[in-house]
């Protein structure tokens, strides 16, 4: 099956690109390894998407998906890519289930995922005291003592929101200062339930049936100590979903896709948009804007060739 | 709500697990960690016709039949996902799952 545009990733960037290309009558397919919606689905409430004063991320994603489909965009979820061939005028994508798709152009919009700490026992205790979502799991920690890991906006904001439930929240951060906006730091510092352990990191999660304690290392001295704790919430940023592109598309040292102003990669006819590209800010409005640019660039490329 | 069949009460739950050999129930909310699991289950329904797929609202009082199951002891992440064979829990997990993770449990317990 030959498409004009195949979009890899169905988050806000990919869905927006799909709306534009299918509306301009280009035969378009979105492939997502999971459910379309991306990190939007992980966002309880979006308050800064213009025109939608307050909407759940899930609702916003469903509307974008519906809109793309209404213009004839095809969407395939749980599509696991086995191999991709990006050189030449016809690009080829093979899935693990044996399906093969061909396209004149490709837009990569694979976004990113929460970074894990990488300490021992972290995976085993996920859902048993280790969490990556305050809005999902916060209320399991009513009157409990918990740790929030990280030093950016989301870590500090989520730590404050967790004080609704927890009796204490300890912020553990690797550096001696925060990368968050001043208002977020101020709000956390003024909250009597929050205390800070700076220049430190978790090196071990301890517990069988559920998390009981963590081992914390003070980085400058290397000293380690054990602390009893009921829960740990991890907010240490995101890694781009670009591992599968290594050796196929130029990436920077952080694994982000290198792009031109028109969001073309180093491979002709291959474009990229959203959280997976090289940039400073990561927001839904930016992802949708870039989805638009990549779609228009891809459309121009298809018409030109 | 999801497109899955719903377990609405404790009585309903009893009937569902007694009258079906293989049952998977995802007990959660319409939240970030739960929605992807419901979505994967909706897709698996046609693939695994020998298994019944249900959701249950975590915040209804009757969801205690799942929340308080000994197999869910220590769970502190949504959703709680339980798998029943002939009315008995054969597996349970806490927090988000990918479609592949669900498939590996289904293939192991419901062959
Ligand atoms: C908890 C949380 C709260 C947030 N709150 C806000 C907010 O309030 N306002 C705001 O503007 N932004 C917010 N953000 C950021 C925002 O969600 C992202 O900037 C935005 O979703 C990025 O869109 P994207 O399309 O680039 O990538 P994503 O949303 O990450 O979507 C990428 C998609 O690609 C798919 N994919 C990945 N790899 C592959 C592959 N190999 N093959 C096929 N498919 C693949 C994924 O399954 C996913 O569906 C928040 C993020 C999080 C996690």
Task: State the DSSP string of B44-109.
Answer: HHHH-TTSEEEEEETTSGGGHHHHT-GGGTT--SSPEEEEEETTEEEEEEES---HHHHHHHHHHH
The predicted-structure confidence for A237-275, as pLDDT tens digits, reads as follows: 888 999 999 999 999 999 999 999 999 999 999 999 999
How near does any CA of chain A get to the CA of B78, in Å? 6
Quickly name the fold that domain B5-106 has. Glutaredoxin (3.40.30)
Contact A131, B77 (CB under 8 A): yes
Instruction: Provide the 3-class DSSP secondary structure of residue A6.
Output: strand
pLDDT at B1 over 80: no
**CB-nearest partner of A129 from B29, B36, B76:** B76
Residue A136 annotated to the active site: yes
> Where are chain B's structural domains?
5-106
Q: Which whole-number Å values give the CA distances from A37 to A13, A86, A121, A266, in the listed order? A: 9, 25, 30, 27
Residue A73 annotated to the active site: no
How near does any CA of chain B get to the CA of A12, in Å? 15
Q: Which residues of chain A have pLDDT under 70?
A: none
* Mean pLDDT for the stretch of residues B62-72: 96
CB–CB of A57 and B99 under 8 A? no
pLDDT of residue A280: 84
Confidence class for position B60, pLDDT limits 50, 70, 90: very high
**CB-nearest partner of B32 from A77, A129, A136:** A136
Confidence class for position B38, pLDDT limits 50, 70, 90: very high
* Mean pLDDT for the stretch of residues B86-101: 94
pLDDT of residue A135: 80
Question: Residue A11 C-alpha to ligand 1 middle, in angstroms?
Answer: 5
- Which protein residues are within 6 Å of ligand 1, measured from CB? A 8-14, 31-34, 36, 38-40, 42-43, 46, 48, 81, 109-112, 241, 244, 274-275, 282-285, 287
> A128 and chain B: CB distance < 8 Å anywhere?
yes
**What pTM, to 2 d.p., does this model score?**
0.79
d(CA A81, CA A69): 22
């Amino acid at each position: 099956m030959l498409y004009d545009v195949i979009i890899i990733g169905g988050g806000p960037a990919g869905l927006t690109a799909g709306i534009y290309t299918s509306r301009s009558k280009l035969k378009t397919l979105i492939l997502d390894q999971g459910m379309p919606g991306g990190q939007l689905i992980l966002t309880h409430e979006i308050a800064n998407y213009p025109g939608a004063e307050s909407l759940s991320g899930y609702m916003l994603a469903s509307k974008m998906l519906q809109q793309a489909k209404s213009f004839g965009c095809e969407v395939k979820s749980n599509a696991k890519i086995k191999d991709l061939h990006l050189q030449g005028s016809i690009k080829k994508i093979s899935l693990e289930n044996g399906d093969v798709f061909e396209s004149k152009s490709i837009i990569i919009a694979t976004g990113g995922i929460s970074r894990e700490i990488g300490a021992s026992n972290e995976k085993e205790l996920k859902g048993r005291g280790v969490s990556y979502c305050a809005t999902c799991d916060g209320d399991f920690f009513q009157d409990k003592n918990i740790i929030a890991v990280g030093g950016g906006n989301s870590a500090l904001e989520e730590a404050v929101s967790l004080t609704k439930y927890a009796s204490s929240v300890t912020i553990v951060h690797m550096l001696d200062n925060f990368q968050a906006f001043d208002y977020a730091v101020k709000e956390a510092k003024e909250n009597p339930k929050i205390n800070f352990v700076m220049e430190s990191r978790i090196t071990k999660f301890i517990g069988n049936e559920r998390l009981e304690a963590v081992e914390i290392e003070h980085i400058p001295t290397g000293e380690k100590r054990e602390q009893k704790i009921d829960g740990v919430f991890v907010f240490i940023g995101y890694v781009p979903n670009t591992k599968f592109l290594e050796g196929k598309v130029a990436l920077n040292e952080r694994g982000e896709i290198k792009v031109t102003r028109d969001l073309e990669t180093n491979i002709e006819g291959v474009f990229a948009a959203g959280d997976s590209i090289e940039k400073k800010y990561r927001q839904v409005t930016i992802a949708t804007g870039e989805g638009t640019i990549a779609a228009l660039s891809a459309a121009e490329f298809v018409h030109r060739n | 709500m999801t497109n899955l069949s719903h377990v609405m009460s404790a009585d309903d739950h009893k009937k569902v697990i007694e009258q079906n050999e293989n049952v998977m129930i995802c007990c959660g909310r319409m939240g970030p960690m739960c929605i992807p699991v419901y979505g994967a289950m909706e897709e698996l329904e046609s693939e695994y016709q020998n298994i019944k797929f249900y959701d249950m609202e975590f915040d209804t009082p009757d969801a205690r039949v799942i929340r308080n199951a000994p197999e869910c002891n220590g769970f502190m992440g949504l959703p709680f996902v339980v798998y029943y064979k002939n009315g008995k829990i054969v597996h349970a997990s806490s927090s988000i799952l990918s479609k592949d993770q669900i498939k590996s449990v289904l293939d192991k317990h419901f062959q």
